[in-house]
Amino acid sequence: MQYGPDPHAIYPNEAIKSICYIKNVVTRPNIIVGEYTYYDDINGADEFEKHVTHHYEFIGDKLIIGKFCAIAKGIEFVMNGANHRMQSVTTYPFNIMGNGWERSTPALEDLPFKGDTVIGNDVWIGQNVTVMPGVHIGDGAIIAANSVVAKDVPPYHIAGGNPCKIIKKRFDDDLINDLLAIKWWNWPARKIFDNLEALCSGDLTIIKEIK
């Protein structure tokens, strides 16, 4: 018996080609995505990599996304390759224009580097969100549509706006700590299948009773 969709499929539901499991279409080694995380875009859900911009292997930064994330259309992950040097008189990138200006090519250490961009598990990101380099978004967080995320978002918090700010916690601290300990996204497919009602219930006490 199959307990849910095939995590290795490109389209978990063949009738809905706007939803694609990202892990099964990425080709860049510096993009790492967990199982069941999907991108929803009627104009090409399988072209998720186009939404990860300024991502160059020689810089070495990674985009890491956990399991069971829901990412809406219009997402853009801006990576460290978009950065310009800021300690000089001008931020203008003369070097990429060529024609003799390449002699101004900066050393990598002269460019801002924010590190890897890390999205946790069970994160919901609304439409037309921009995530800036080096941001960490915690497990269970929700990012409102049209937000620009330039700072970290803690687990199980709702954030939104430009610049993105914390709106509120989803749950109290005790439940957040319990959920971070349970890590339901790491359960085997059969256990998730058997506990769908608890995972989707408005009664937040049920989840704690699962062994």
Its pTM stands at 0.93
Q: What's the pLDDT at 154?
A: 98
Please tell me which residue in 8, 54, 55, 84 is annotated as part of the active site. Answer: 84
Q: What's the pLDDT at 84?
A: 87
- Each residue of 58-80: pLDDT tens digit? 899 999 999 999 999 999 999 99
- As annotated, the residues of the chain forming the CATH 2.160.10.10 domain(s) are 19-170
- Would you state the structure tokens that stand for residue 2, as one six-digit string? 């199959």
Residue 99 contacts by C-beta under 8 Å, 6 or more apart in sequence? none
Q: CATH class for domain 19-170?
A: mainly beta
Are 39 and 75 a contacting pair, CB within 8 Å? yes
CA dihedral 24, 34, 22, 145 (to 10 degrees): 180
Are 133 and 83 a contacting pair, CB within 8 Å? yes
- Each residue of 148-166: pLDDT tens digit? 999 999 999 999 999 999 9
Alpha carbon separation from 148 to 84, 92, 151, 152, 161 (Å, rounded): 19, 23, 9, 11, 7
pLDDT averaged per 10 residues, the chain (length 211): 91 94 97 98 96 94 98 97 86 85 82 93 98 98 98 98 97 95 96 95 88 74
User: How far is residue 207 CA from its own chain's centroid?
Assistant: 25
Q: What's the pLDDT at 10?
A: 96
Q: What's the pLDDT at 148?
A: 98
Q: Catalytic: 84?
A: yes
DSSP H stretches of helix in 28-172: none
